[in-house]
Structure 1
Amino acid sequence: MKKAIFVTLLMAGLGFGTFAQDAKPAHRERPPHEKRADRRGARFTAEERAEVYAKRMQKNLNLTDEQYKKVLAINLEQAKKQEELRAAHKAEMKATREKMKANHEDLSKKYESVLNPEQLKKFKEEQEKRKTEMQEGRKERRGRR
């Protein structure tokens, strides 16, 4: 009898403990300056990023108006530097992509000089198959994010 009561109380305690835990944290509502519903997928401009970060710092650090203006100027300078770095990186990537494309075309010409038409056809089919598999893999990985 004592064991039955003990087991019942133990199970009830575990059950109540499970329900007491919140499975998901409450959704944090974004302040109006952080909302971007009308710009889905668009990036903030340098000025917008600087302002958002400065306002967040003002709120969290209780900045004076003078401090806010100085922090805003610093953030704007930093945001513009980041944009320049992104643009340089993008140009560098484009140049690298062009070099790789030229290298691939050169490789294809070398293969064409060695392989007979039947082998070349099979080789190109295998390349297409691998390309398709890689694209599907990328789509699959994007779906998991």
Structure 2
Amino acid sequence: MKFSNIIRKAAFAAAFLIGISFAVSAQSDSTKHSPEKRAKAMTDKMKTDLTLSDDQYKQVYDINLKYAQKNQEAAGGEGTRMQKAKALKSGNASKNEELKAVLNNEQFEKYTEAQKEKKANAREALKKRRDNGGK
């Protein structure tokens, strides 16, 4: 009986260590995304969702890259969380204005609706984390 308890504890410890290594690996991978990779991923999604033309794709990529770089600078820069959040929000408003000039009305409407949905989902996720005690 004692031997099976030792095996069980060893298996649990091994599973725990494997789980921790996956979590650390996933975290380090998410921090390695360059502004270029983020801009490409965003633009690829927008190409699919908004059926961008090749010309629009290039223009939208340039806009996404510009703001991904600005966001990275703002997030890593000096200031409080609130100041950083205000800088990001200001950047989003400017980005939307630039995108509005590239997208047609229907595309821009789809884009803004997706942004609203994304924001609502983020708020809901935050609320759930707060309700669960930050877990």
Larger radius of gyration: 1
More helix by share: 2
TM value normalised by structure 2: 0.38
Choose between structure 1 and 2 for higher RCO, CA contacts under 8 A separated by at least 6 residues.
2
TM-score in terms of structure 1 length: 0.36
